[in-house]
Amino acid sequence: MNPFSSGTRLRDMIRAIRACKTAAEERAVVRKECAAIRAAVSENDQDYRHRNLAKLMFIHMLGYPTHFGQMECLKLIASAGFPEKRIGYLGLMLLLDERQEVLMLVTNSLKQDLNHGNQYIVGLALCALGNICSAEMARDLAPEVEKLLQSRDQNIRKKAALCSIRIVRKVPDLAENFMGPATTLLKEKHHGVLITGVQLCTELCKASTEALDYLRKHTDSLVRVLKDLMASPYAPEYDISGITDPFLQIRILRLLRMLGQGDADCSDCMNDILAQVAAKTESNKNAGNAILYECVAAIMGIEANSGLRVLAINILGRFLSNRDNNIRYVALNMLMKAVGVDTQAVQRHRTTILECVKDSDASIRKRALELVFLLVNDSNVKPLTKELIEYLEVSDPDFKGDLTAKICSIVEKFSPDKLWYIDQMLKVLSEAGNYVKDEVWHALIVVISNASEFHGYTVRSLYRALQTSGEQDSLVRVAVWCIGEYGEMLLNNVGVLDGKEPMTVTESDAVDVVEMALKRHMTDVTTRAMSLIALLKLSSRFAPCSERIREIINQQKGSLVLELQQRSIEFNSIIQKHQNIKPALVERMPVLDEAAYIGKKASSSSATLSTEKTSHSNSSGVTVSLPNGVTKPPAAPLVDLLDLTPDDVPVSSSSGGDFLQDLLGIGSSPNSSLPGVSQAPPTGGADILLDLLSIGTPSPVSALNTVPTSQDNMSSVSPLEALSTLPSPVSSAQVSQPSMLGSVKGTIDQSKQPAGVAPVMDLLDGLSSNPLSLDESNPLYPSIIAYQSNTLKIAFSFSKQPGKPQITLIQATFTNLSSNVYTDFVFQAAVPKFIQLHLDPASSNVLPANGNGSITQSLSLNNSHHGQKALAMRLRINYKVNNESKKEDGQINNFPSDPRCLCMLTFFN
Amino acid sequence: MIRFILLQNRQGKTRLAKYYVALEESEKHKVEYEVHRLVVNRDPKFTNFVEFRTHKIIYRRYAGLFFSMCVDITDNELAYLECIHLFVEILDHFFSNVCELDLVFNFQKVYLILDEFILAGELQETSKKAIIDRMGELEKQE
């Protein structure tokens, strides 16, 4: 019986659901239906099984859970009749996907159905396989599908071809098996089979270079097919607005592009036909434009001759002036690729493209903006930036983020001189300062600090900009910083540039501005903290206002934000009690190192993790603490406010790559030089220094960069020593500060380092070698083979820090068991939420063949449910063999099964 | 490659959702919600393409119904637009003058038609007639 034609119940249910007026009513109906279906399932009801499954599919579409119906699909698939199988397979595709383990149970039924005598049933099985098969199923069933590619029935052939695509996507190794059958499909006359054959070939080319070479030999026959298609008379079955099967033409063009890419001979073969398609295809309908678009893509992709390229660019030019937005969109898209081929030709359309940046359609704007970005060069940067900044004023808020990011990177990349850079950045900040990323204004401060000749000009411009755009956060930050640093230049009109008006600003005007920034209700903590520092600096520069400044600072004593309150109290005591050291404390910043900043910027992403750790540890129960939201790592130059480092000390910018190294570096030297406070975790100590003096962002990145970390720094003032000259609350805080990172690393540090200088690299070595040595000395931690496949072995050895039972250090050793070298080797691990995982960099990313050497990598796991839950981990290993990417996944489940490991685990937890 | 095909009405009710990549159930709901939000308020003069995460949505509106396909960023947008139209023509032909209610009450047939049109995220047949004929044959098997 047919569940749909005679079964009114499905219709009834849909009607009942549609009649529901509220979501609650709908839920009630669905709940009732589900209960009935569940009952039928448990009674193993045969008659209504397919109808029930159909209902479940509808319920599923509404978004309700239907997992209990999964087994019903399998039962229906296993039944004999076509209607049952049909609904069973439909349910399978809808309710299940490749990740459910239930799916494995269906492999056998699929295999039987693929070999079935009834072509319709074979079709059903192919369809299901093509839509949801997993890698395992692909491997198991590939031979069947391969055989079906030669079936007599064309419907089966085309389904098998698409099924093969899925199989090759899941298991690229199988590509070679399909090469032969796939090329026979190219000789088909039936369009359906032909188009699937062409798509299969395209997929094979992506999966294997061997297949690509093999298929290149068939270029001629493809060209012929396309030629015939173009010349074919009106064919009603395949006609779309006057063009015969545009879909097939497009697929062939796409395959031709793949074949011609990087192969001159092959490209030669198709030059003529591409020219023909480009010239003859009608462009007044979407279908024709779709072909032209694909044809242009092919011309841009292959090694085409210049005449053909001109033709292609002309088509794009025509597209660009089209009134249909879709056509303009694809034109912009394709021009991006054309930039690499013929920049001059694209530059000709620059004004049109710039107009597109201002289009009302976000999709077009986005494309156009990216294209503009590619078109910028030294000669047109000024007018282009001007246009973009002007547009920034009127663009809608959604787009401002993208636009500012692009403008900033254009300005940074192409600025001809510093003054222009500063000017443009100020414009952007005033216009869209709230959308500017932190790195951008940090970079601006670095540049300003280096441009001593423009200090006066900059601070005046900022002051002026602040009057009109005081609501733009990053503008306020830069302005406040500059006023703090160069406040006196604001008053004296120092360094007025030619043609600029001098302006009159009194000391109290300047203080007003900073006070406003501090008190504006929208201002965030970082800005407020920066304002406080600026005020502290101004208090020494503007002697007459000193008392007023002290009052402003004092007001923040009651701030609810700990950071501000603390600063206020500390600064207040600096002003009141330590007049003698104040001038030295608030001296102007030394010029920031641009090269080092750029280096830092590149590595800042890797530093994020560690900084967060540090500041978290800070906020956990320490008097000196940072509020959340100031955990960002980028450079905050004010950190160096105290001017701890004598300028003649060599700055170890070479070791600047890794933030962590620096962090440990600063931690290690005070530790060795001040044995008296060795209980205080050194990193923590450094943090206080940073907290106290930095602007809101702790930003050790740039600060640490200027702190000496090399051997010869012993003679210079070490940061902690300098710190000890500070008011007492600070030093007491520093002693009591527990810091997670600090203590972990600190203990290593103490155990490893002789009482002397602690070179940064050595310390890091210590980190990775420590666990090993511990492991050797302690038989309690046996090594395990965490993962082993035919190609790869991973061994874990374990160690613990004394007194830190929740932290497990793992030394992972990777060995290559195959005969090929692995490159780009990357190991990833995932752990449950209650465990924190920290991965150190691996010793290498190249793994030699045949076990001739290995890669090591240290991990540290912090189990927050120590003693309650066991360690668990999933692994993923990515690497390349002969430039082909491979992926292996694993789970460490030999922990619990091995009794030895069990006892180890209990020890660990 | 087509990642998924959605058929939604203006209120955001999903009338058909076919995924050719494996997604979590909750992720699917999120995707459907986001896609609906992306397409529903766009000006008809705008492009039929919206960028969506790392992919692209090609959509087209027919009366109160939105047909959306999520495709790779390098795919031919115009071709997929034509593809949506062909699918709609097939539905229109099959249900003779299709309306939303046809799709609701015969949802399983819509899926079956789609399975004859697209498989594994790729085009299977480009002839309307071939698909309608094939559906007729399959109906006879029931």
Q: Quick one: pLDDT at residue A697?
A: 40
Length, in residues, of chain A: 909
Q: Which of A133-147, A380-394, A860-874 has the lowest mean pLDDT?
A: A860-874
Residues linked to residue B67 through DSSP beta bridges, in sequence order: B7, B60
Residue A362, pLDDT score? 87
Query: How far is it, in rounded angstroms, from Cα B139 to Cα B142?
Result: 5
Quote the pLDDT of residue A781.
60
Q: Which residue of A has its CA nearest to B122?
A: A162
Distance CA A571, CA A816 (A): 59
Q: Report the pLDDT averaged over residues A291-313.
A: 92
Q: Which of A323, A325, A327, A370 is the best substitution to test chain B (most B C-beta atoms within 10 A)?
A: A325
Mean per-residue pLDDT, A856-880: 79
Q: How close, in Å, is residue A843 to chain B by CA atoms?
A: 32
For A18-56, write each residue's pLDDT tens digit.
Answer: 999 999 999 999 999 999 889 888 888 788 888 899 999
User: For position A893, what pLDDT does the model report?
Assistant: 64
Residue of A79, A201, A333 to mutate, testing the B interface (most B Cβ within 10 Å of its Cβ): A333
Domain boundaries, chain B: 2-141
CB nearest to A162's CB, from B45, B112, B124: B124
Give the helix ranges, DSSP H, for A321-349: 325-341, 343-347
User: What is the spatial distance between Cα A623 and Cα A730, in angstroms, rounded to a whole number?
Assistant: 9
d(CA A787, CA A795): 7
pLDDT band at A617 (very low <50, low <70, confident <90, very high): very low
Directed axis angle between helix A659-673 and helix A760-777, to 10°?
Answer: 80
Q: Judge whether A542 and A553 are in contact, CB under 8 Å.
A: no
Q: Which residues of A touch B90 (CB under 8 A)?
A: none
Helix, strand or coil for residue A827? strand
Which pLDDT belongs to residue A89?
Answer: 95
State how far residue B66 is from chain A, nearest Cα, in angstroms: 16
In chain A, what percentage of residues exceed pLDDT 90? 35
Q: Do A330 and B25 touch (CB under 8 A)?
A: no
For the entire predicted model, the pTM comes to: 0.68
Point out the residue among B119, B127, B141 whose CB comes nearest to the CB of A120.
B141
Residue A623 pLDDT exceeds 60:
no
Q: Which residues have C-beta within 8 Å of that of residue A486, sequence separation ≥ 6? A: A455, A456, A458, A459, A588
ipTM: 0.97
Whole-number pLDDT of residue A343: 87
Q: Tell me how far apart the alpha carbons of residues A126 and A682 are, in angstroms, rounded to a whole number.
A: 65
Per-chain mean pLDDT for chain A: 77
Question: Which 3 state secondary structure label does DSSP give A651?
Answer: coil
pLDDT of residue A507: 86
| Residue that the structure tokens 């678009």 belong to | A293
Per-residue pLDDT reduced to its tens digit, A396-445: 888 888 899 999 999 988 988 889 999 999 999 998 988 988 888 998 99
Nearest to B108 among A4, A98, A155 (CB): A4
Chain A contact probe: residue of B32, B95, B105, B125 with most A CBs at under 10 A: B125
pLDDT at A646 over 50: no
Residues A678-695, mean pLDDT to the nearest whole number? 40
Q: Is the pLDDT of residue A700 over 60?
A: no
Q: What is the pLDDT of residue A761?
A: 38
Whole-angstrom distance, CA of residue A583 vs CA of residue A139: 75
Between A738 and A352, residue with greater pLDDT: A352
Instruction: Tell me what the mean pLDDT of segment B59-75 comes to.
Output: 95
Amino acid A589: pLDDT: 83
User: What is the reported pLDDT for A286?
Assistant: 93
Give the lowest-confidence range in A156-170, A720-734, B37-51, B116-130: A720-734
At B78, the pLDDT band (50, 70, 90 cuts) reads: very high
pLDDT reading at A861 higher than 90? no
Helix (H) or strand (E) holding A768: helix A760-777
Q: Any idea what DSSP says for residue A847?
A: B
Does A629 have pLDDT greater than 80? no
Select the more confidently predicted residue: A611 or A474: A474
Query: At A116, is the pLDDT very low, low, confident or very high (cuts 50, 70, 90)?
Result: very high
Closest CB to A195: pick one of B86, B123, B134.
Answer: B123
Looking at A121-125, A418-422, A520-524, which range is the least confident one?
A520-524
For the domain made up of B2-141, the CATH class stated in words is alpha beta
- According to DSSP, the residues that pair with A859 across neighbouring strands are A810, A839
> Does A549 score more than 80 pLDDT?
yes
Question: Tell me: the pLDDT tens digits for A364-373?
Answer: 998 999 999 9
> Taking 80 as the threshold, does the pLDDT of residue A572 lie above it?
yes
Q: Measure B102 CA to nearest chain A CA, in Å.
A: 11
Q: Are A634 and A438 in contact (CB under 8 A)?
A: yes
Question: In whole angstroms, what is the distance from residue A829 CA to residue A557 CA?
Answer: 46
Q: Write out chain B residues lying below 8 Å of A4, CB-based.
A: 106, 108-109
Among A151-160, A727-736, A818-827, whose mean pLDDT is lowest?
A727-736
Which of A86, A159, A254 lies nearest to residue B124, judging by beta carbons?
A159
In this complex, the residue of A61, A290, A360 whose CB is nearest that of residue B78 is A290
In three-state secondary structure terms, A860 is strand
The per-residue pLDDT for A602 is 66
**Contacts with A15 (C-beta within 8 Å, 6 or more apart), sequence order:** none
- pLDDT tier at A729, thresholds 50, 70, 90: very low
Q: Do B29 and A18 touch (CB under 8 A)?
A: no
Chain A CB contacts of B130 under 8 Å are 192, 237
User: Nearest to residue A444, comparing CAs of A279, A585, A637, A599?
Assistant: A637
Phi, psi of B67 (to 5 degrees): -100, 120
Nearest to residue A146, comparing CAs of A98, A99, A185, A90? A185
For the segment B9-61, what is each residue's pLDDT rounded down to a tens digit? 999 999 999 999 999 889 999 999 999 999 999 999 999 999 998 999 999 99
Min mean pLDDT across A260-269, A369-378, A598-607, A741-750 is at A741-750
Taking only the tens place, the pLDDT of each residue in A744-780 is 343 334 444 344 333 333 333 434 333 333 334 444 5
Label residue A814 by pLDDT band (50, 70, 90): confident
Instruction: Give the mean pLDDT of A686-707.
Output: 39
- How far apart CA B133 and CA A145 sit, in angstroms, is 24
Q: Closest Cα of chain A to B94: distance in Å? A: 16
* Interatomic CA distance for residues A861 and A850, integer angstroms: 30
pLDDT of A591 reads 83
Q: Is the pLDDT of residue A712 over 80?
A: no
